[in-house]
Amino acid sequence: MKNLLSDLFGTITPPSPIAKYSDPGAGLGALLNTFLKVMIVGAGIYTLFNLIFAGYAFMSAGDDAKKVAGAWAKIWQSLLGLAIAAGAFVLAAIFGQLIFGQWDFILNPKIPEL
């Protein structure tokens, strides 16, 4: 099938800037993998700043019970969000191992060549 298509349509040499993406394992899978990693790093940075601001709000709350409760809620929500973001990697590894027999199958997708 592959020879029939290349005989029918010919071959195309990709331009040099995108030649490194001509690998069948690259492309959409690599883009999604990079997007996932950037989102997780962004979640970690957001959590760090959120914890810093919530800690400052907690320290400056004084005797105001509403401000203390609000700061604790923000700290708790930040830590819960970080746990969910980190847990996504753990669940992806577990499901990858159980379903595909390879722990990084979901984290590093490879598109098979036709």
Tens digits of residue pLDDT in 22-76: 665 556 767 777 888 888 889 889 999 999 999 999 999 988 999 999 999 999 9
**Domain boundary assignment for the chain:** 24-100
pLDDT at 6 over 80: no
Give whole-number Cα distances, 51 to 2, 5, 58, 59, 86, in Å: 55, 56, 10, 12, 16
Nearest residue to 56 via CA among 70, 45, 43, 44? 70
Instruction: Report the distance separating Cα 10 and Cα 34, nearest Å.
Output: 32
Question: CB of 82 within 8 A of CB of 44?
Answer: yes
**pTM of the complete model beyond 0.85:** no
- Residue range 81-91, pLDDT digits in tens: 889 988 988 99
Phi and psi, residue 87, nearest 5°:
-65, -25
